[in-house]
């Protein structure tokens, strides 16, 4: 897991690029003809050279590579895109990283008669020149929807669904259902001509028929046709028709209903989904639940996209890895993993088929989330063969009449999962149970990357943690910002834990990394975003430290979690260098117990209510209007 013996070098990044594009004959540095007019990036007015260059007549490609600092690669490739004598369109590629598994890549384009540089919707993957050409043409001619436009459309749909009295918890399913039926050519070609029930049909039946009666029926039928196959036999009973049966009661007027479908088809289906393998339904799920508040989704915390991508990189996937998510939610981790593995397969059709059929395993117990995960996979080329509608906790399936836990366990082990990436439920101390079960599923020397409440290990140091450390080594802990889930109106103290399935020994070090701030900012109507483009470098720094297992004062340090056979999951810190005496907190501060009761908390309250629990609450009142150190010492 460490590359500490290898010096970080720009040439390593360049070699990764050379190897991937070995057949494309890129020109390098000073071999680039002066006629292209590149200027020195040092602003001397002299001739300069990007790292790689290719002239494709219709457009040119300019490339800049850096060892780890991605912002430098981005800034320099943009400079070369602007400072030249080229009279055709230009594509820019900024690349950084020391391994193909943890590569960072950004693609830009500039039209020949413009000075504005745009970003292509491709990230952190090297793609073939043919694929790059197709994506560039789609962006150039406006066939791709931006993230901001996508969010605007989904929010607009949310308001429409609200006015149509569709329950918040059913909106995401309704949206996914409409996306799925648009993949059915028969429905796509006929829905515009579907009519309301005739007078004769109404006369034959005593109940009231909706205007959209036939359209609703056609939608449910098309969903069932598209999704009926590939429910794994070890899943609990599941009927797509039953799950989407609520659609039969949707009572939009027929014209409005068709306009909703047209909007999804033109704005999202054709212009976005066919170009990007993203957790689209996960994005929609968060927006559709925004009206419901935390009461409807209090046990569901969706991983932010940038943390999801970081965790995939921390797992260091290779093309033969088998990925398991034992609590997959909307399938975001599996979507990211599938995208990464397919990219590593480099257009090998047989390998890609194997990835989709045998290298992705997922469990989900919530029927709505399971539907969204399966829909996500279906909409992006499938990968549903091993998605299971049941709990992955093998002491939690007593209601199953056949396909007992032992059968399920043997089946999962037969698939030989090597990497597990999960965000488990946080309530009722379930995170530690998911940790142990995931480690039992994966192969020896396999890796588990899990985000969960920071106190989880300490809370279980005299229980399940000892069982975990008998089979798995705790390699690193990355403390997350407290406002990580603020977009979901949650304040949770979480960390990413990295385990390797090999016993933890008492003299083993653990790397503790403090990500106090991810530099994301909250923008109204957009949520938490990387407004100042700081995350790329922050992520590179994290990956560099974890890969090299190296310390930096004030940022991360190695600690042992055992001392004299006593386990301390927070790690024993190194000896203090200071000669100053230790003082009690009570000698420095006025200390008193809080008097606000947790039972009086209000989830929609204005003020943060800091408690000794893993998750802060909200309250309508406050007791201190000043800077305060809050020390949560007890609960109850």
| 244, part of any domain | yes
| 342, part of any domain | yes
| 611, part of any domain | yes
Q: What is the pLDDT of residue 299?
A: 59
Distance CA 301, CA 492 (A): 10
Q: Give kind and range of the element (H or E) at residue 169.
A: helix 168-181
Residues 503 and 368 in one domain: yes
412-427 tens-digit pLDDT:
999 999 999 999 999 8
Q: What is the pLDDT of residue 295?
A: 34
Write out the residue range of the structural domain in which residue 108 sits: 10-141
The CA-atom distances, in angstroms, between 159 and each of 167, 174, 302, 326, 533 are 12, 14, 22, 33, 31
Work out whether the CA dihedral 452, 236, 383, 377 comes out positive or negative.
Answer: negative
Q: What is the mean pLDDT of residues 107-122?
A: 93
Residues 170 and 111 in one domain: no
Residues 311 and 262 in one domain: no
Distance CA 453, CA 435 (A): 12
Residues 399 and 537 in one domain: yes
Residues 367 and 442 in one domain: yes
Q: What is the mean pLDDT of residues 279-283?
A: 75
The CA-atom distances, in angstroms, between 143 and each of 111, 137, 216, 268, 272 are 16, 8, 29, 10, 8
Cβ contacts of 389 within 8 Å, gap of 6 or more? 231, 235, 236, 238, 364, 365, 367, 370
Distance CA 160, CA 406 (A): 47
Q: Specify the length of the chain in residues.
A: 636
What CATH number is attached to the domain comprising 455?
Answer: 3.40.50.150
| 239, part of any domain | yes
Angle of CA points 375, 339, 132, to nearest 5°: 115
| 3, part of any domain | no
Q: What is the pTM of this model?
A: 0.84
Distance CA 266, CA 150 (A): 12
Residue 231 pLDDT > 80: no
Residues 491 and 425 in one domain: yes
b/e for 52-66, b at 16 or more Cβ within 10 A? bbbeeeebbbbbbbb
Residues 388 and 526 in one domain: yes
76-100 tens-digit pLDDT:
999 999 999 999 999 999 999 999 9
Q: What is the pLDDT of residue 230?
A: 60
Residues 433 and 518 in one domain: yes
Structural domain ending residue among the three candidates 290, 321, 345: 290
Residues 133 and 31 in one domain: yes
Residues 427 and 317 in one domain: yes
> Per DSSP, what are the bridge partners of residue 497?
450, 477
The CA-atom distances, in angstroms, between 287 and each of 66, 154, 156, 483 are 37, 7, 10, 18
Closest Cα to residue 548, out of 475, 463, 624, 623? 475
38-61 tens-digit pLDDT:
999 887 778 999 999 999 999 999
Structural domain ending residue among the three candidates 514, 537, 567: 567
pLDDT-based confidence at residue 1 (cuts at 50, 70, 90): very low
DSSP helix/strand/coil, 567? strand
What tokens appear for 142 in the block? 């406006």
431-464 tens-digit pLDDT:
999 999 999 999 999 999 999 999 999 999 989 9
Roughly what angle, to the nearest 10 degrees, separates helices 147-163 and 254-264?
160
Distance CA 444, CA 434 (A): 17
Residues 151 and 135 in one domain: no
Q: What is the mean pLDDT of residues 521-544?
A: 91
Residue 233 pLDDT > 60: yes
- State the virtual CA torsion across 160, 163, 168, 170 in degrees, nearest 10: -70
Q: What is the pLDDT of residue 613?
A: 63
| 572, part of any domain | no
Listed range (317-331, 405-419, 523-537, 592-606) with the worst mean pLDDT: 592-606
Q: Give kind and range of the element (H or E) at residue 338.
A: helix 332-345
Residues 382 and 524 in one domain: yes
Q: Which of the two residues, 355 and 380, has the higher pLDDT score?
A: 355
Q: What is the mean pLDDT of residues 380-391?
A: 81
Q: What is the pLDDT of residue 298?
A: 47
Roughly what angle, to the nearest 10 degrees, separates helices 168-181 and 280-288?
150
pLDDT-based confidence at residue 296 (cuts at 50, 70, 90): very low
17 phi-psi bin (left φ>0, alpha ψ -120 to 50, beta other):
alpha
The CA-atom distances, in angstroms, between 444 and each of 43, 270, 309, 441 are 53, 43, 24, 10
Distance CA 472, CA 490 (A): 30
| 4, part of any domain | no
Question: What is the count of structural domains for the chain?
Answer: 4
Structural domain ending residue among the three candidates 122, 141, 160: 141
| End-to-end Cα spacing for the chain | 42
| 283, part of any domain | yes
Q: What is the mean pLDDT of residues 616-628?
A: 72
Q: What is the pLDDT of residue 293?
A: 45
Q: What is the pLDDT of residue 2?
A: 47
């Amino acid at each position: 897991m460490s590359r500490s013996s290898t010096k970080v070098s720009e040439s390593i990044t360049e070699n990764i690029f050379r190897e991937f594009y070995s057949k494309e004959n890129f020109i390098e540095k000073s071999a680039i003809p002066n006629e292209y007019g590149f200027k020195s990036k040092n602003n001397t007015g002299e001739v300069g050279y990007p790292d790689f260059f290719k002239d494709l007549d219709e457009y040119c490609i300019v490339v800049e590579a850096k060892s780890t600092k991605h912002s430098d690669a981005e800034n320099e490739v943009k400079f070369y895109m602007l400072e030249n004598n080229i009279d055709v369109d230009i594509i820019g590629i900024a690349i950084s990283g020391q391994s193909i598994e943890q590569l960072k890549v950004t693609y830009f384009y500039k039209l020949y008669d413009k000075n504005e540089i745009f970003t292509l919707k491709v990230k952190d993957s090297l793609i073939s020149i043919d694929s790059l050409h197709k994506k560039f043409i789609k962006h150039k001619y406006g066939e791709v929807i931006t993230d901001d436009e996508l969010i605007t459309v989904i929010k607009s749909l949310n308001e429409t669904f609200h006015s149509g009295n569709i329950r918040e918890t059913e909106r995401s399913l309704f949206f996914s259902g409409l996306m799925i039926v648009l993949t059915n050519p028969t429905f796509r070609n006929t829905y515009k001509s579907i009519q309301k029930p005739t007078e004769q049909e109404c006369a034959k039946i005593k109940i009231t028929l909706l205007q959209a009666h036939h359209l609703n029926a056609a939608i449910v039928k098309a969903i069932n046709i598209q999704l009926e196959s590939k429910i794994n036999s070890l899943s609990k009973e599941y009927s797509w028709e039953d799950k989407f049966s609520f659609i039969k009661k949707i009572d939009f007027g027929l014209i409005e209903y068709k306009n909703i479908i047209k909007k999804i088809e033109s704005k999202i289906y054709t212009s976005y989904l066919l170009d990007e393998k993203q957790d689209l339904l996960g994005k929609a799920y968060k927006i559709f639940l925004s009206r419901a508040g935390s009461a409807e989704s209090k046990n569901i915390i969706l991983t932010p996209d940038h943390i999801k991508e970081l965790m995939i990189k921390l797992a260091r996937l290779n093309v033969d890895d088998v990925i398991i998510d034992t609590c997959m939610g909307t399938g975001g981790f599996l979507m990211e993993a599938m995208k990464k593995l397919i990219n590593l397969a480099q257009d090998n059709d047989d390998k890609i088929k194997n990835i989709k059929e045998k290298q992705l395993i997922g469990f989900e117990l919530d029927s709505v989330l399971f539907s969204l995960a399966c829909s996500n996979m279906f909409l992006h080329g499938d990968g549903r063969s091993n998605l299971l509608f049941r709990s992955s906790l093998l002491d939690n399936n007593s209601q199953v009449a056949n396909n007992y836990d032992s059968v399920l366990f043997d089946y999962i082990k037969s698939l030989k999962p090597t990497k597990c990436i999960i965000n488990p439920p946080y309530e009722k101390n379930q995170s530690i149970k998911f940790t142990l079960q995931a480690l039992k599923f994966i192969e020896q020397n396999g890796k588990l990357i899990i985000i969960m409440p920071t106190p989880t290990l300490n809370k279980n140091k005299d229980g399940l943690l000892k069982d975990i450390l008998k089979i798995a080594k705790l390699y690193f802990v990355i403390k997350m910002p407290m406002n990580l889930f603020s977009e979901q109106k949650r304040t949770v103290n979480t960390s990413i834990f990295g385990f390797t399935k090999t016993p933890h020994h008492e003299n083993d070090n653990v790397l503790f990394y403090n990500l106090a701030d991810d530099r994301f900012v909250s923008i109204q109507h957009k949520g938490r975003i990387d407004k100042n483009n700081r995350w790329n470098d922050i992520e590179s720094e994290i990956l560099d430290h974890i890969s090299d297992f190296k310390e930096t004062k004030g940022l991360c340090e190695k600690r042992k979690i055992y001392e004299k056979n006593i386990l301390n999951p927070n790690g024993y810190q190194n000896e203090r260098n200071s000669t100053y005496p230790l003082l009690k907190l009570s000698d420095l501060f006025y200390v008193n117990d809080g008097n606000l009761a947790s039972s009086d908390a209000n989830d929609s309250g204005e003020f943060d209510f800091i408690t000794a629990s893993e998750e802060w609450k909200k309250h309508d009142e406050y007791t201190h209007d000043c800077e305060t150190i809050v020390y949560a010492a007890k609960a109850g």
